[in-house]
Structure 1
Amino acid sequence: MGGFEGHLYPGLSLFFYGLYHTRLVSRALICNHHVQYLPRHPWSTGRWARLRQIYYVGLVKILSTFILVAQELHNIQGPLVLISKIYHQRNFLYHKQWQHLTLYMTFFLSGCVDVVSQNLLPQRSAALEQGAQALGMFLILPLMLSHLQDSEGVELLCHVLLIQALFLLLLVVIAELWAPNSLQLWVLKAFLYMITGSWLIQIGFMLFRPISGHKWMDDDKNDMVFVTTFFCWHVASLVVLMAWIYGFSFLWYCYVR
């Protein structure tokens, strides 16, 4: 996730995935049904009847992975190799890029499992989907921890706050394996996905395209303090956003539909 685009695109993917979960939770609370999935459309006849029965979440995950991988490869100068072979030395190359690609593969794995479970198996397996999601988060966390090695100052603090959100998200998805229909866990999961995504986008702007036009300074205490302040503002803003989505959903399902 190097550069501005490397933070923007993954952040948008995670943020919109969190919005999707917020929609699921809101509809489950209002319509009093299981939070796991949106109900299928009733079977109908016609050319496009089968397409109305397909769950597209897994396909969107796979498509997002291809976009993220293409963006990562586009930013690499020269061939992508794992180990250099200069004389008798063997050095690992592009360590951050390989970390990013490994991270994206967790999204791809989760998307493939979703597609198989939701559209190919005779009966949908929620445990399989949630297990793949938990495995992906378990792999992402150590990758992000090792990502801190070359960071300092503002960049280090930004990524520490990101890892804090990822760690809480890991705990939630693990707990969800034992309580798959817990509304409290789904609310937390939706919120943490959105905060992870929005904060990734914020990191991209802070490190590479500051809105003020002035670079954030590692030796400026005010800049360091405001990093944490901005993170808290993200948390508060997303709480308001989730409340607004629930309110809009309540009006939609109770008075419009």
Structure 2
Amino acid sequence: MVSGAPAGPSDGRDRSSCRPVGLGVCRRVQTHLKNGSQLLKDGSCLMLGILRVHLPEKVVRMANFKGHALPGSFFLLFGLWWSVKYPLQYLSQKANKKSHRSYSFQRVDAMEGGMKIVFALIGMLAEQFVPDGPHLYLYSGANRDWVKLMNWQHTTMYLFYGLSGLVDVLTYISQVVPRGLDRLMLSTAVFVEGFLFYYHVLHRPMLDQHIHSLLLIAIFAGAGSILLEVFLRDNIVLEMFRAGITIVQGTWFWQIGVVLFQPWGGPMWDEEDHDNIMFLTMCFFWHWAAAVAILTVNYTLTYWCLQRFRRSSGEPYISLGIRQQKDDPSSQATFLSGSDEE
């Protein structure tokens, strides 16, 4: 209820037809000027009230499509890379009967950390120095107001992923860093992302809140699984789950940008239509199904390529749970348990 507007049904007039047609236009209204402000009087219609109702939604939504596509691309690239890296690491260890990771994969971890740092710096600079960005100003003394807090939240998210990359590099170059600290820092970064996005969409329209809440499912599920990796290191199931969750995050960031901002044109989504809520919930799990399909294809292709390489080089390879040697004239198989039967 707007202060100063006549209220109550006692005058018997139908106010259902008194709604904004354009900006500040009401049906069946009489206008006059009072103290320099235009009042639209029809029992309950007031120009000031209309402005107070409609403008906040425009003010709150300061993000854009690029602000969702950039982190979405980062997550998608890392998820796709992990969906190849971890099957390759697991199958290599299994074929060579090693319980520890090779030095080459440790170097890859350090390179990943460097890429995290680079991506985080790109993200922070983009959030701060876009034309309408805060340009490192957090608070405006002149206006007595915060400056572009949404950009600052995104910057904070990138900051923690950059710290995760730094810990990855330190883990590789120093033996002093405790084992598992890299996974703990990555889990912390994902938790921070989740908490920031939880308070990111308060007081938004229903569709906006719902589509971001679906993203929170993937974020907190990923944070929990990465935390388990601190104690269950090199667990292929957890690693593949992390890869899949990261792919879902990446594709869903793009989905959010497309739904809310329509970058390629077309009608905007009705943010109060419950059918749209139902469709997007279903669509979210289609993204999960697509991620599972990607994991399956990449695991299968990695296995197939690794087997081809080992057969061509005469090294032992894995086939249906047994260890075989190409140069064995009798094509005799020995079990992976380590028997050397002749």
TM-score (norm 1): 0.85
Q: What corresponds to 1:45 in structure 2?
A: none
Superposed CA offset, 1:68-116 (max 9, x none): 1222121435644222223xx8432221111111111011101111122
2:167 is the counterpart of 1:113: yes
Tell whether the 8 Å contact from 2:218 to 2:249 is kept in structure 1 after alignment. Answer: yes
Give the alignment of 1:61-76 within 5 angstroms. 61-73=116-128, 74-76=130-132
Larger radius of gyration: 2
Cα distance change on mapping 1:166 and 1:106 into 2, 3 Å = same
RMSD over equivalenced CA pairs, Å:
2.6
Q: For structure 1, which segment, 54-63 or 224-233, has the greater mean C-alpha deviation from structure 2 after superposition?
A: 54-63
Which residue in the other structure is 1:13 paired with? 74
Unaligned runs of 5+ residues in structure 1 are 42-51
Query: CA contact under 8 A between 1:165 and 1:195: conserved in structure 2?
Result: yes
1:227 counterpart letter in structure 2: L
Contact in 1 for aligned 2:205/2:272 (Cα 8 Å): no
* Aligned pair partner of 1:96 in 150, 157, 168: 150
- The answer on 1:59 being equivalent to 2:114 is yes
Quote the residue 1:232 is aligned against.
285
CA contact (8 A) 1:172 1:189 kept: yes
SS of the equivalent of 1:245 reads: helix
The letter of the residue matching 2:139 is: I
> Which structure carries more relative contact order (alpha carbon 8 Å, separation 6+)?
1
Aligned residues: 244
Change in 2 beyond 3 A, CA 1:219/1:53 = closer
- 5 Å-filtered alignment, 1:1-257, equals 2-33=63-94, 39-40=103-104, 55-73=110-128, 74-77=130-133, 79-86=135-142, 90-118=144-172, 120-122=173-175, 126-209=179-262, 213-256=266-309
Tell me if the contact between 1:24 and 1:36 (Cα under 8 Å) persists in the aligned partners.
Answer: no
1:219 deviation in Å? 2.4
TM-score (norm 2): 0.65
Q: Which structure has greater helix proportion?
A: 1
Contact residue 35 and residue 181 of structure 1 kept, 8 A: no
Residue 210 of structure 1, CA deviation: 5.6
> Does structure 1 conserve the Cα–Cα contact (< 8 Å) formed by 2:86 and 2:239?
yes
1:221–1:78: structure 2 CA closer, same or farther, 3 Å change rule?
closer
More off after superposition, 21-30 vs 74-83: 74-83
Letter in 2 for 1:40: S
Q: Following TM superposition, by how much is the alpha carbon of 1:123 offset from its aligned partner in structure 2, in angstroms?
A: 7.1
Consecutive unaligned residues in structure 2, runs of 5 or more: 1-61, 311-342
Whether contact under 8 Å (1:28, 1:35) holds in the other structure is no
- Percent sequence identity is 25
Which digits, 9 at most, give the CA deviation of each residue in 1:29-68, with x for residues without a partner?
3223579866418xxxxxxxxxx88931111111111221
